[in-house]
């Protein structure tokens, strides 16, 4: 089997997994040491725990606490090969992918390429708004917020100061709600201690949602409770209002209203990452890839898609696809780790059936909402459940310990002491591709 990116031909079936998120990493870990050659490809050399990215952005956690090196995850496995690169094209006829490092043939290809921010074609949002889909973006947001507060204490003009301290969050899903809660807690508990000269009453945190309730996808009760929590904390929640534009100085709302700010956090939509070479009819709404019930891409024999990028055909209960959440990705990765060996050995496979274990969102200290299949609850106990579930989901014992210590320290001190503005060093001109 040919390879131009230096993968040895061991004679074992080669399974190439593109993407080391929840789906791809789960699959690779389940298949290791099973007699297959696993090639795991990702643009980063680490797995990032996306549900806690907002805490990195809000200076609640350090990036290393929610990231885990891929090579460390497979240190004791000689049949897993890590390659840090991006896939540019797939040739389903030749069973070959083209990456920035070169070409690679496969016996089986699994696409777990995930999603990115969807700005719905608005170039101003794409170029001026802030998204939060990676550790790099979370750190950039943290730097920007802290830097603007530093500028605000030396800015005498009221309007200029408002532009620096006010923040607009677009999108009332879990990310938007959790970011709004974290920002208003920073305003209420941290900034008065760090910035004595700054009148925190001037700081407005806006959460704009186009729908009639927050947390779409969860129960109406959860959305209402989240709204009540946020309003009591001081967040300015606006429902049934669409954001139409942002010029870097003002956010323009439908109906003519505008809000002065230089920071818009975009949490209003996602779309699948694209890859060339798949049949046109398999890529549907949201750039999701159509698969059959065992997550095999429609029209192919040995190409699979799992996680946020996949949409399973003939699922009446999920007309628009399964929820794009970690549990779906993990469950699809686990099932495919059983189905691939079955396919290779000509044995029966099992269809994917999603086991909905519920959903949850935290709004702030002692405040969360939880929807379980049989009952719903809110408040302190919901917050404890949220903490436990997320803590045990993080990869790595050391990461679990560090996150737990940060959470405990922050809970009792109201101060994590992580508010550092870390600016990247000057890039070397001859090494621009290698710069972070």
Q: How far apart are CA 227 and CA 431, in angstroms?
A: 48
State the catalytic residue, choosing from 88, 96, 150, 178. 178
Q: CB neighbours of 18 closer than 8 A, spacing ≥ 6?
A: 24, 41, 42, 87, 97, 109, 110, 111, 112, 113, 275
Q: Token pair of 204, please?
A: 């407005």
Place of tokens 């750190």: 139
Q: Hey, what are 74's tokens?
A: 């497979």
CB neighbourhood size of 162 (10 A): 18
Residue 119: left if φ>0, alpha if ψ -120 to 50, beta else—which one? alpha
Written as six digits, the tokens of 313 are: 């055909």
**Would you give the end-to-end CA distance of the chain in angstroms?**
33
Q: Which of 234, 214, 266 is nearest to 371 (CA)?
A: 214
To the query of whether residue 123 is one of the catalytic residues in this protein, the response is no
Phi-psi region of 242 (alpha: psi -120 to 50; beta: other; left: phi over 0): beta
176 neighbors 129 (Cβ within 8 angstroms): no
Calpha distance 131→172 (Å, rounded):
14
Bridge-partner residues for 87, per DSSP? 99
80 near 72, Cβ under 8 Å?
no
Q: Which residues are catalytic?
A: 178
């Amino acid at each position: 089997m040919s390879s131009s990116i230096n993968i040895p031909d061991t004679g074992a079936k080669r399974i190439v997994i593109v993407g080391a998120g929840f789906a791809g990493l789960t699959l690779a870990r389940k298949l290791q040491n099973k007699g297959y050659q696993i090639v795991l490809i990702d643009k980063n050399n680490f797995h990032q725990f996306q549900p806690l990215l907002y805490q990195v952005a809000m200076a609640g956690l350090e990036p290393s606490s929610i990231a885990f090196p891929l090579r460390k995850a497979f240190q004791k496995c000689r049949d897993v090969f890590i390659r840090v690169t991006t896939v540019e094209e797939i040739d389903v006829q030749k069973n070959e992918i083209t990456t920035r490092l070169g070409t690679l043939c496969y016996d089986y290809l699994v696409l777990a390429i995930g999603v990115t921010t969807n700005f719905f074609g608005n170039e101003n949002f794409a170029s001026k708004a802030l998204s939060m889909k990676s550790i790099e973006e979370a750190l950039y947001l943290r730097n920007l917020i802290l830097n603007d507060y530093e500028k605000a204490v030396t800015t005498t003009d009221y309007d200029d100061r408002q532009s620096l301290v006010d923040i607009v969050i677009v999108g009332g899903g879990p990310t938007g709600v959790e970011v709004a809660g974290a920002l208003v807690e920073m305003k209420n508990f941290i900034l008065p201690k760090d910035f004595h000269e700054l009148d925190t009453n001037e700081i407005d945190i806006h959460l704009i949602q186009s729908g009639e309730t927050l947390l779409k996808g969860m129960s109406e009760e959860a959305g209402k409770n989240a709204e009540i929590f946020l309003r009591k904390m001081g967040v300015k929640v606006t429902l049934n209002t669409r954001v139409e534009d942002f010029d870097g100085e003002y956010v323009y709302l439908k109906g003519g209203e505008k809000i002065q700010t230089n920071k818009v956090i975009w949490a209003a939509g996602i779309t699948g990452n694209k890859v060339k070479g798949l049949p046109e009819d398999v890529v549907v709404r949201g750039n999701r890839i159509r698969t059959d019930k065992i997550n095999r891409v429609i029209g192919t024999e040995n190409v699979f898609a799992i996680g946020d990028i996949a949409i399973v055909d003939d699922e009446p209960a999920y007309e628009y696809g399964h929820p794009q959440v970690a549990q779906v990705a993990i469950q699809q990765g686990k099932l495919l780790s059983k189905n691939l060996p079955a396919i290779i050995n000509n044995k029966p496979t099992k269809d994917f059936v999603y086991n909905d274990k519920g959903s949850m969102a935290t709004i702030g200290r002692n405040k969360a909402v939880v929807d379980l299949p049989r009952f719903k609850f809110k408040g302190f106990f919901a917050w404890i459940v949220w903490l436990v579930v997320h803590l045990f989901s993080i990869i790595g014992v050391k990461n679990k310990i560090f996150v737990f210590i940060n959470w405990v320290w922050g809970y009792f001190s109201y101060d994590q002491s992580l508010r550092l503005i870390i600016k990247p060093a000057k890039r070397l001109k001859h090494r621009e591709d290698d710069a972070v």
